[in-house]
Amino acid sequence: MASLGEPAHACAEDEQLDWLKSVLHQLEGMTGMVLQAHLIEGQSLKDLAQAMNCSRSSLRRHLHEGLSTLREWARRDGLIHVQTR
């Protein structure tokens, strides 16, 4: 529950971040490493590419693959509601 002066969405964001941290370990290999470093640790793709000695386009592929998987899991876990027209 949000305290006075704290927006309600801040609590939801905290819950989402907690969820993200709890499921990131389920992503294997490079995809999991890229998401952890980029989303949680805040590293840029440029810096990651240099540190991992690979191209930014390769990292973007892993990032998009991982984000797609996370979206599926978030829908499964009720964090994202499927919109119908």
Least confident interval from 1-5, 8-12, 25-29, 39-43: 1-5
**Rg of the chain over CA atoms, in angstroms?**
15
Amino acid at 72: E
pLDDT for 10: 67
pLDDT digits (tens, 9 = 90+) for 18-69: 898 889 989 989 999 999 999 999 999 999 999 999 999 999 999 999 999 9
Compute CA distances 6 → 10, 12, 13, 44, whole Å.
7, 11, 12, 29
The alpha carbon torsion through 22, 31, 43, 81 (nearest 10 deg) reads -50
pLDDT for 1: 44
Instruction: Delimit the domains of the chain by residue range.
Output: 24-71
> Would you say 59 and 49 are in contact if contact means Cβ atoms under 8 Å apart?
yes
The predicted model scores a pTM of 0.75
Question: What would the mean pLDDT of 11-18 be, rounded to a whole number?
Answer: 81
The alpha carbon torsion through 54, 43, 40, 55 (nearest 10 deg) reads -20
Instruction: Give φ, ψ of 60 to 5 degrees.
Output: -60, -40
